Homo-oligomer: A and B are copies of this chain.
Amino acid sequence: MMSPSRDSLVDALSMKGGNGEHSYDSNCHYQRGVFSETEHVVKESIKEMLMNLDFPGCIKVADLGCSSGRNTLLAMFEIVNTIIETYQQVGRTNPPEMDCGLNDLPHNDFNTTFKLVPSFLEKLKMEVKGRCFVSGVPNSFYSRLFPSKSLHLVHSSLSVHWLSKVPDGLENNTKSIHIKDPCTPNVYESYLNQFKKDFSLFLKLRSEETVPNGHMVLTFMGRKVSDDLFKDCFQTWSLLSDCVLDLVSEGVVKESEMESFNIPFYNPNEEEVKEVVSEEGSFDINKIEKIDHILPYKIDGSEEEDEDLSLHLEAGKKHASWARSITEPLLIAHFGDPIIEPVFDKYARYMAKYLSVSNYRPNTTLIFVVSLTRK
């Protein structure tokens, strides 16, 4: 079970299922917040799509990388709601049928989501009177998921930054689990190449599945700068790197295990995104919005309270629980169970420290909301 091959590591990629303390469902406030900030782009996109397609009788919507729990159905509820509202606004009295496909990897905890479907459908019936069908689609979004020309709207929130595999050529990235200062240029290149391949494939597959003039809204982690290659790409992984390194020096984790572990994740900059979309050629970019925050847990209260370490530690713990909810299955697949508690204890403390000085650090990460139309 330990140290699987690099490809099979991606098989283990999933948010932590169920609804326990460290589950994704209990720690997805941040992801939920992101959706509420990107919702207006999704709504705009839906309206434009419906106009262009002249209000079809059945609309098929896909949510890719839906994860498990309430978040997924929350986004779907807003999408369905917007569709129905738009039909009403233009005086169409018959609402369309809506077919909602929730996609994630086969090891995702679909059961937890599916148990929420009856109340989702009930709420829909009460509030929007739309007929809606929900299904789960267990497969990688780096393969075909739906029949040709069947989708009207594709939505994906905080998923496309996950790569299809750990990039090749990371053998010398021994002191980090991602792109972290200092690192050699080839580490960055390896990640960038894998992202280009993966994102291009993603667009090609979706272009086959989407009707002409169908829309796609992708929200994912990005990076602000284009020339600052050797800075940390994503602070969450840099902190996690430090934690694992500590465990190596404490003898809890073997050096070779740390050296062979790299997170299959890449947050591109805007130029990199535009370049792949343009080269792949199936979609037009309508707009790219940027959301400039990355720390999920703000500390309540005014600045003077920022000196209070216990508050920082509290926030650090919450952030650790969030990081755990999105990485635990991956870490267990490579390092085994026993690493989890110590790694996230450390993470909470590092995060507390980081928060106490974060005002003085540049934040290199942001969120992209990319709205696209199938040509």
Contacts and interface: CB of A to CB of B under 8 A. Distances in A.
Interface of A: 57-58, 97, 99, 101, 106-111, 114-115, 117-118, 121, 131, 133-139, 144-148, 150
Given A111-B109, A117-B106, A147-B99, A136 B139 contact: no
A148 B110 contact: no
Given A58-B148, A114-B110, A117-B106, A135 B133 contact: no
Given A106-B115, A109-B111, A115-B107, A134 B139 contact: yes
17 contacts: A58-B147, A58-B148, A58-B150, A97-B147, A106-B117, A106-B118, A109-B111, A110-B114, A121-B139, A131-B144, A133-B144, A133-B145, A134-B138, A135-B137, A135-B138, A136-B136, A136-B138
Contacts of A131: 144
A114 B118 contact: no
Contacts of A148: 57-58, 97
Nearest to A140: B118
A198 B108 CA distance: 33
A146 B133 contact: yes
B138 A114 contact: yes
A137 B114 CA distance: 9
Nearest to A139: B117
A130 to B, nearest CB: 12
Judged by DSSP, the binding face of A is: mixed
Given A106-B118, A114-B138, 18 more contacts: A97-B147, A97-B148, A106-B115, A106-B117, A107-B114, A110-B111, A110-B136, A111-B111, A121-B139, A133-B139, A133-B144, A133-B147, A134-B139, A135-B135, A135-B136, A135-B137, A136-B136, A136-B137
Nearest to A11: B118
Give the most central of A107, A111, A136, A146: most B CB within 10 Å.
A111
A134 B106 CA distance: 11
A107 B116 CA distance: 10
Contacts of A114: 106-108, 110, 136, 138
Those 5 A-B pairs whose CB atoms lie nearest each other, nearest first: A114-B138, A135-B135, A136-B136, A97-B147, A106-B114
Nearest to A104: B114
A147 B58 CA distance: 7
A150 B58 CA distance: 10
A150 B57 CA distance: 12
Contacts of A133: 137, 139, 144-147
A65 to B, nearest CB: 15
Give the most central of A108, A118, A150: most B CB within 10 Å.
A118
A328 B70 CA distance: 28
Nearest to A109: B111
A299 B152 CA distance: 56
A100 to B, nearest CB: 11
A262 to B, nearest CB: 23
Nearest to A59: B147
Contact of A101 (B107, B135, B144, B150): B135
Contacts of A136: 110, 114, 135-138
A109 B136 CA distance: 13
A145 to B, nearest CB: 6
A117 B140 CA distance: 11
